[in-house]
Amino acid sequence: MSASGARRHGIVLVGGGHAHVQVMTRMAAAQRSGIPLTLIARDLDTPYSGMLPGHVAGLYRRDEIHIDLVRLAAATGTRLIHAAANGIDRAARTVRLEGHPPVAYDLLSIDVGITPDLSEMAGADRHAVAVKPIGGFLDRLEALRAAAARPDGPRRIVVIGGGAAGVELVLALHARLRADAAAAGRDPDGFAFALVTAAPLVPTLNAGIRRRVARALAARGIAVHGEARVVAIEPDHVRTAAGAAIAADAVLVSTRARAPAWLATTGLALAPDGSVAVGPTLQSLTDPTILAAGDCAAMVASPREKAGVFAVRQGPILAENLIALARGTPLRDYRPQRRFLVLIATADGRAIGGRGPWLAFEGRWVWAWKDHIDRRFLRTFTDFTA
């Protein structure tokens, strides 16, 4: 597609995810060259998932872990439409929105994250809190804190999901709810925390990281129920496939997520989890004018687990390829890392880190390093000026 072809409607971004905010800043100069850019966003601030556990633990304010999309759009010259997408008319090249007229595009990029898939856990929709999408979770978190502050509030807290996100969440909740109790003059030891996982703890990470994670959980008295697949959530317990009942007053789910259901109506090739199947250039395998990144994209040629590091690394390539498509110049391939840095916050001023099959470490310096990396990434957008 030539530059003149891209100037009619330009590039439309659906979703304010980690990759798209980078497209906005990197295209700021390109827009002045005549390529219009539009962002369609359901929420006007986008949370940075890497700092979510720190917020849950009380180490960051809510505003410190969000990117203000209104401000960023103004700073980058991006047209902002506050609406939720619910479909694409590929023949007409328009995005369908809830409560807003369709938006035309020449090139389209999708970075809408994932939504909870609770279909295999009976009662989860009534008795559990899903971590994704993060905006809804943060509201439920405040409700949980308020309930836990009452004398008759929840005391048995269960997190479902044994990946890094689930581990960070249960450690952060342990720190925050106990601190809340102590501040209110109540016994912080009145809580019981449990982590339930269908697989072993952090199974994709190396043995050194796994040992350190297990020690961190044990040191806080957090019960770990490994290889226990939850099939039902009741008001006072969760039930596993083996028939075990684990007592629970509050249940949080950090696993089993899918791409938004509306993507299934687009006619695009999808992965089994509903995410958009893309090639090395991040273009849809079905439609080269549509690209996707982040958790809602599946890299067919180089499959990887869902992790924020990939969305962050995809951002620059996505921006470059959108500009290249608009100008009719060659595209670049995105080559995801096989070995990437892992940093797991333990909510006590420390963190666990590692990379590849052998390297593992922990300490206060690891938390300081993680905090520095995360704050620096956020400043790229909160302090951006064209």
Over its C-alpha atoms, the chain yields an Rg (Å, rounded) of 21
Low-confidence winner among 217-221, 231-235, 335-339, 361-365 (lowest mean pLDDT): 335-339
Band (pLDDT 50/70/90 cuts) for residue 117 is confident
Q: What percent of the chain has pLDDT over 70?
A: 96
Residue 310 pLDDT exceeds 90: no
* The token pair that represents 265 in the structure block: 């109506």
Residue 103 pLDDT exceeds 60: yes
Structural domains in the chain?
Answer: 3-42+83-114+259-338 (3.50.50.60), 116-256 (3.50.50.60)
For residue 121, how many C-alpha atoms fall within 13 Å in the half-sphere facing its CB?
29
What pTM was computed for the model?
0.92
Per the CB < 8 A criterion, the answer to whether 144 and 250 are in contact is: yes
Per the CB < 8 A criterion, the answer to whether 73 and 107 are in contact is: no
Comparing CA positions, the residue from 110, 104, 92, 89 lying closest to residue 8 is 104
Going from the C-alpha of 195 to that of each of 190, 284, 325, the distances in angstroms are 17, 37, 46
Comparing CA positions, the residue from 113, 77, 107 lying closest to residue 95 is 107
| pLDDT confidence of residue 134 | 87
Longest pairwise C-alpha distance within the chain: 67
For residue 28, how many C-alpha atoms fall within 13 Å in the half-sphere facing its CB?
15
Spatial CB neighbours of 352, under 8 Å, sequence gap ≥ 6: 209, 212, 213, 216, 343, 344, 346, 360, 361, 362, 366
* The token pair that represents 256 in the structure block: 């089993």
| pLDDT confidence of residue 255 | 87
pLDDT in tens, 27-64: 986 666 678 999 999 999 999 999 999 999 999 999 99
Residue 1 pLDDT exceeds 70: no
**Bridge partners for 89 per DSSP:** 94
pLDDT in tens, 266-282: 999 999 999 999 999 99
Band (pLDDT 50/70/90 cuts) for residue 7 is low
Query: Phi first, then psi: what are they for 155, rounded to 5°?
Result: -125, -25
At 351, the amino acid letter reads A
Per the listing, tokens 């994709």 go with 204
Q: Indicate the DSSP class of residue 263.
A: G
pLDDT in tens, 206-256: 999 999 999 999 999 999 999 999 999 999 999 999 999 999 999 999 987
* Mean per-residue pLDDT over the chain, rounded: 93
pLDDT in tens, 135-168: 889 999 999 999 999 989 999 999 999 999 999 9
| pLDDT confidence of residue 257 | 81
**Bridge partners for 34 per DSSP:** none
**Bridge partners for 13 per DSSP:** 39, 109
Query: Phi first, then psi: what are they for 171, rounded to 5°?
Result: -65, -40
Residue 14 pLDDT exceeds 60: yes
| pLDDT confidence of residue 4 | 44
Residue 183 pLDDT exceeds 80: yes
